[in-house]
Structure 1
Amino acid sequence: MGACLSRLWGESFTPLDLLPSPTLAEKLVALVLDGPPPCQIPALVSALNEAREYLARFPADELHVVVLGGGTGLSSLVGGDSRQPDWPDHPFDGLKELFPHTHAVVCVTDDGGSTGELQKDLPLAALGDLRHVLLSSVQQRILRSRYQLDSTTTRRVVRSLHRLFNHRFTVQPDSPLALLNAAGDTLEDLPTELLEELRRLLGRLFVDARLRPTLDRPHCLGNLLLASAIYGELDPDLGPDELIARPEVVRTATVRGLMALAAVIGAPPNGVLPCTTSPARLQLLYADGVMVTGEHKSSLARRRTPVDRVRVEFASDPFVPCEVLDLVARADLLILAPGSLYSSIIPVLQVPGLARAIRANTRALKLLVANIWVQRGETDVARNAPERKFHVSDLLAAYERNIPGGMAGLCSHVLALGLRDIPGSILQRYALENKEPIYCDRDTVEGMGYRLVEAGIFSSQLLQRRHVIQHDPRALALAVRTLAAVTPLEQPLHRSEPNSLPGSGAPEDDERLATSAVRGDRLLPCQRYHHLNLCLRTIGYRTQGAGPHTAEDLPAGEQRELAARLCEILWHHQDIPSSHLANVRGLMLVDPAAWNRCQRWDQVFSFYDPQDGWLKVRADRLAQQETFETAVLVALGQSILGNYALNKTMEDIPWRDELVGHMFHLELRAPDFSNCLLSPRGLDLFLRLARMRPSRNEPLRYTRLVNGTEGFTPPGLLFGLLYVWYLDNRQVSHIEYKMSIMRMIGSRLIPEQTRTSARRQRLVSFFREEVFGQQAPRAEEADSEEIS
């Protein structure tokens, strides 16, 4: 191959000059994917075809490949997205077709859908992405060999597995057979041995008391099959509490269960492994100081400000399976798969020891496959230049900033789809749908020390059928094989020093926010869910009618329904600790005709009543989940202040027979008689940030001047609204409008705006640290003087 390329490259005009790409690697990838360009000179075409044949004969089946990432991007690269309905039409494409020794290391921070439901009941790491990639890893050779199948039957078996693994049920099944029948009518295509094994796995869900609760929730059947395989490796005498107390036992069972299910469905041994077996959750710190916990919740976030840092928080000491470390050490190719920027590669490489293992393998080709499209909430705003589009260099800078030790030794090549390969009409249609591509900025990427390879690695069939642009598994595999063949012939890569790169990463042993951390209370998700349920079952649920003395307990069924709705709200907002319920005695639904709360300053139809400790919500808020959630969270936020206020009055301010304003007086209850969950220092800090002026002579008195007839948000209500805004800014648009001043560039502000922006930044820090107890790279210290 080297002699062939020397002849092609050595002429003043070579056949490779017919290929328009700028680099040798890009020319050869284009040649493999598209064939020789039209040419009237047979000798030139023959020479290019000769090179293409050499590349096609490259012995990729001897190479060991390790791919790291999250669900959709990783599965697409390994063997196609197995969740798509048309995946069974081409189930054996992708890396596994050309590189049979392909192994996937999967992110475990997913907490949405069926995966999140499983975490309510089982002390396991997230299984959804593992299940997804496991099905994509099924290999024709293994299936045919294990079950003695011909090619046609093998494809029918894969189609049945696809239907089973992706079947979702919402009604509680009454038997394993009912589950199988509901999943489809193609069970007769399954070999007897395979069908019996599936029945055994499903049967365990009904007979193992530890798994039985999972059938009460809507689930993806593939997730339950994997959970059953894991529990099949556990001692049946170990109860839930014992499993929680012995994470090393669950760790071993998770890896063995994956291997057992892989063997059943025709995936290679250790073909799919978790990056860690420790349950983990994702935390995103935005540039405005807000921290969002949970991968699913972060995917819904619309903060309109860049992500500053990412952290993975583990429920127990994170442990990389030794099988993963062995595979990484032996790999010939190490590939970072495309996927969500902050919920795919970064969480994987924040697991202590994994990035170090990749760096230690100095002989492997290390490749990053860049995303094609911007992802809302993650890559829609560039951190260093929020006003411009997102670039490939921004991806690299985010990895550099959030991976311990930066990107040094983790990646040398970047494989990306160039916009010139996308039809302009498609880009225009995507733009109308508010979807934007990630732009390839070659000069910046190469200036950072990477080799950029732009190639047409999208699916032309999907483009023709559905007019969408997605990575094509076969094209990606061919491009990777070409790079594996060509890279040893390229000049050595001279990469910039890591510390000279923008956003250079923290040292590998740094345990600040840029790296992983162990949750302070070490609560597993299933423990948190159980504790929330216990708390919500101990409070009351009542209704208040229009007449006097009409408050009464709700019927038992309605109480259970309300408790379940409250639990889902608190479960979704993982940043809310159960301690925030300390002052809540119950939830009262108030008939609109009986609602007599003054709405002079707001249109918020809920509040916390410190006299009786009840959250009071106007009953018509119950009709829609979003309005009910907002109402509950406002009142819950106010309950943190408890009975902090001893007295509140509004005094008129006259001048020359005219009313020029008002003076709001707030007298605090003495700390010994207050149930406020904030410390006296924390309460004082909040009141100052709310522009309440402390009295010099009376330490428990605060005042606030209100000009003319201007509006005013009392501190208790402001606390509740900010509580909601911090958790989900979409629910309180008026607070979002006020806080948006933080997104303005400082040099463009007049001094008063600068002070306002700084004060609101301190409010965010206060809620992050004092209210929600979240760690940050560094805490902003509030001024001890009055904050204006």
Structure 2
Amino acid sequence: MIERTGKQYKWFLPGLNVKRWLLLAIVGGALLIDGVTRILAAEGADFHINQTIDQAVLGHVPLPWIDWIFVVVGVIFVFVGIRAWFRSIVAVLTPNRKDHILEILVERRALTKGWKIVAIGGGTGLSTLLRGIKQYTSNITAVVTVSDDGGSSGRLKRELGVLPPGDIRNCLVALADSERLITELFQYRFKEGDGLAGHSFGNLLLAALTAVTGGFDTAIRESSRVLAIRGRVLPSTLSAARLCAELEDGSIVEGETNISQSSQRISRVFLDPRRCEPLHEVIEAIRDADAIILGPGSLYTSIMPNLLVDGIAAEIACSKAVRIYVCNVMTQPGETHGFSASDHVQAIDALVGERLFDYVIVNDAPPQRLRERYAAEGQEPVEPTVEALRTLGLTPIVASVISEEQAVRHDSQRLATTIMSTLAEATGLGEPVRPQRSGAEAASAIAE
């Protein structure tokens, strides 16, 4: 009972934007009653509500107390009525959380006040990052490469002419705030069926929505509504460009899949056609960002394709936002074999011709359990080379940010915590905000 009463008090904590509307409802009710009374009096109606109520409660309630009793009962009725009204709406929108209106309000309010973050990349790296930072803010814009040409995405690109939806789908699911069944449906991959085997449901839905709505960007927006994502997902361009690479022997390799499978070191990458217009929403998001994060992700096939789109690299270079590069934790055969953290940075500098970031997050805890398996595949931990990064004029952020359960990759929560701490330090705002993992945790954080 005490816990329940304490919970009700949290409705009146600062920042929820509830008290003002509750007060407005009470004032509105008083004005309504006064107005009706005046109309009845003007019409000559012999109806006096106070005397009628006094007669009704006579003998049950002491008349000297009736004023304050009615005030208290009236406030309770207004509060309960508005709360029940909210619950009815929440029961439709989020049926599994209809008894947690307060937690939902606290959570959403905290997330909407978070930093405006633009995350640029592709592949599994970007979706891993998004799963972590969505616990801190809903002001997220994920800018995703559309150069994938393998698997289900490649088949849809070749057969239907749509932009590859795979990386977009993964980012939508990573930012999803909807029911688990819906996210599992988006990720479901058909294992059999003539023409269906290998395709994921989400890819097929995005392809179908592109045909129905007339645009890939519109299809992404509609899918975002279905998944109720925190933030938004944008392709870096709507141009059907092909990623190409020049290898160290001078040969040209076309297509992301072929590039990633090459055993030779890459000299440079470029798009065909070379001129690709960015979405204006991408440029606006970069200009309005508090923080811009590149990576993690494959250096040449996930990060660089976005920077090759006209205007994106230039906007990042002149941005006043906190700019962070998340370096990969493992090298990739051919693509970045033998690369250190500073090698990754210098490759990006060579591509765009100017500095795009101020901070570099590097992992200082190499994998143990899976290291031998990766070594057999020609992959080694990326050396942090902290002093070399400082020599380049960058601020290295050294932290343990990996997970090695079934694969060695960034840990979503560790990476997000490191990023938020970096933002707090860079902006001088002190301690980073707490993650909004659940409404209950958010309510407790505010109450404290």
- Shared topology, TM-score over 0.5? yes
Q: Hey, what's the Cα distance between the residues in 1 that align with 2:153 and 2:186?
A: 16
Residue 158 of structure 1 pairs with residue 180 of structure 2: yes
Mapped contact 1:124–1:277 kept (Cα < 8 A): no
Q: Distance in 1 between matches of 2:118 and 2:367?
A: 33
- Tell me the residue number matched to 1:766: none
Does 2:414 correspond to 1:475? Answer: yes
Indicate the residue corresponding to 1:368 in structure 2: 325
Q: Does 1:263 align with 2:225?
A: yes
- AA at the equivalent of 1:412: D
SS of residue paired to 2:271: strand
Matched, 1:299 2:260: yes
Distance 1:434 1:217, change over 3 A: closer
> Corresponding residue for 2:168?
130
Is the partner of 1:319 in helix, strand or coil?
coil
How far the C-alpha of 1:159 sits from its partner, in A, is 4.0
Secondary structure at 1:232's aligned position in 2? helix
Q: Secondary structure at the match of 1:168?
A: coil
Please give the root-mean-square deviation of Cα atoms over the aligned residues, in Å: 2.3
Asked whether the 8 Å contact 1:169–1:221 carries over to 2, the reply is no
Q: Which residue matches 2:95? A: none
Answer yes or no: is the 8 Å Cα contact 1:169–1:220 preserved in 2. Answer: no
Which position in structure 1 is the counterpart of 2:299? Answer: 341
Partner of 1:351: 309
1:437 paired with 2:437, answer no
Match in the other structure for 1:310: 269
* CA shift for structure 1 position 445: 1.1
Distance 2:133 2:196 in 1: 38
Q: Residue 160 of structure 2: SS of its match in structure 1?
A: coil
In the alignment, structure 1 segments of 5+ residues that lack a partner are 1-57, 80-93, 144-156, 173-214, 235-252, 381-388, 491-788
C-alpha displacement at 1:217, in angstroms?
Answer: 7.3
| Equivalent residue for 2:359, pick from 398, 404, 413 | 413
Any residues of structure 2 matched to 1:27-426 within 5 Å, and which?
A: 61-79=113-131, 94-139=132-177, 143=178, 157-172=179-194, 218-234=198-214, 253-268=215-230, 271-303=232-264, 306-314=265-273, 317-362=275-320, 364-380=321-337, 389-403=338-352, 405-406=353-354, 408=355, 410-418=356-364, 421-422=365-366, 424=368, 426=370
Structure 2 stretches lacking a partner, 5+ long: 1-109, 430-448
Q: 1:300 to 1:170 in 2, by over 3 A?
A: farther
Q: 1:489 to 1:231 in 2, by over 3 A?
A: same
Q: Deviations 1:461-480 (Å, cap 9, x if unpaired)?
A: x44xx4x4321101111111
Q: Is the alpha carbon distance of 1:314 and 1:134 closer, same or farther for their aligned partners in structure 2, counting shifts above 3 Å?
A: farther
- Structure 1 Cα separation of the partners of residues 158 and 229 of structure 2: 28
| Identity %, equivalent residues | 31
Note the alpha carbon deviations across 1:516-548, whole angstroms, 9 max, x for none.
Answer: xxxxxxxxxxxxxxxxxxxxxxxxxxxxxxxxx
For residues 479 and 111 of structure 1, the distance between their equivalents in structure 2, rounded to whole angstroms, comes to: 33
Correspondence for 1:694: none
Cα deviations by residue, 1:148-198 (Å, 9 ceiling, x for unpaired): xxxxxxxxx3244224433225413xxxxxxxxxxxxxxxxxxxxxxxxxx
Indicate the larger mover: 218-227 or 478-487.
Answer: 218-227
- For residues 288 and 432 of structure 1, do their structure 2 counterparts lie closer, same or farther at Cα, with a shift above 3 Å needed? closer
Whole-angstrom CA distance in 1 between matches of 2:164 and 2:372 = 37
SS of 2:346 mapped into structure 1: helix
SS at structure 2 position matched to 1:66: strand
Query: How far, CA to CA, are the matches of 1:434 and 1:350 in structure 2?
Result: 28
CA distance in 2, matches of 1:455, 1:61: 26
Is this contact kept in 1: 2:238–2:278, CA < 8 A?
yes
CA distance in 2, matches of 1:115, 1:472: 26
Question: How much does 1:104 deviate?
Answer: 0.3
| CA deviation after TM superposition for structure 1 residue 309, in Å | 0.9
- Say which structure, 1 or 2, has more relative contact order (CA 8 Å, 6+ apart): 2
Query: Contact 1:126 / 1:279 at 8 angstroms: preserved in 2?
Result: no
Deviation digits for residues 316-370 of structure 1 (CA, Å, limit 9, x no counterpart)? x5221111111111110100011111001111011011112222322x1000000
Change beyond 3 A, Cα 1:228–1:428: closer
- Tell whether the 8 Å contact from 1:164 to 1:221 is kept in structure 2 after alignment: yes
Relative distance call for 1:444 and 1:60 in structure 2 (3 A) is farther
TM-score (norm 1): 0.39
1:366 match: secondary structure: strand
Q: Give 1:99 deviation, angstroms.
A: 1.7
How far apart, CA to CA, are the structure 2 residues paired with 1:59 and 1:260?
A: 22
In 2, the alpha carbon distance for the partners of 1:415 and 1:488 equals: 17
Show CA shifts across 1:235-265 (max 9, x none).
Answer: xxxxxxxxxxxxxxxxxx2211111111011
Question: What is residue 447 of structure 1 aligned with on the other side?
Answer: 391
**Residues 275 and 425 (structure 1 numbering): CA distance in 2 closer, same or farther, change over 3 Å?**
closer
The 3 A distance-change label for structure 1 pair 257 and 445 is same
CA distance in 2, matches of 1:170, 1:311: 36
* CA contact 2:134–2:140 (8 Å) conserved in 1: yes
Aligned position for 1:488 = 427
Q: Secondary structure at the match of 2:402?
A: coil
Aligned to 2:446: none
Distance 2:112 2:412 in 1: 16
Q: Is the 8 A contact 2:367 2:381 kept in 1?
A: no
Q: CA deviation at 1:130?
A: 0.9
Select the structure that is richer in helix. Answer: 2
Paired residues in the alignment total: 320
**CA–CA distance in structure 2, aligned partners of residues 423 and 287 of structure 1:** 30
The residue matched to 1:358 in structure 2 has which SS? helix
Larger gyration radius, structure 1 or structure 2: 1
* Equivalent of 1:457 in 390, 397, 401: 401
Normalised TM-score (structure 2): 0.67
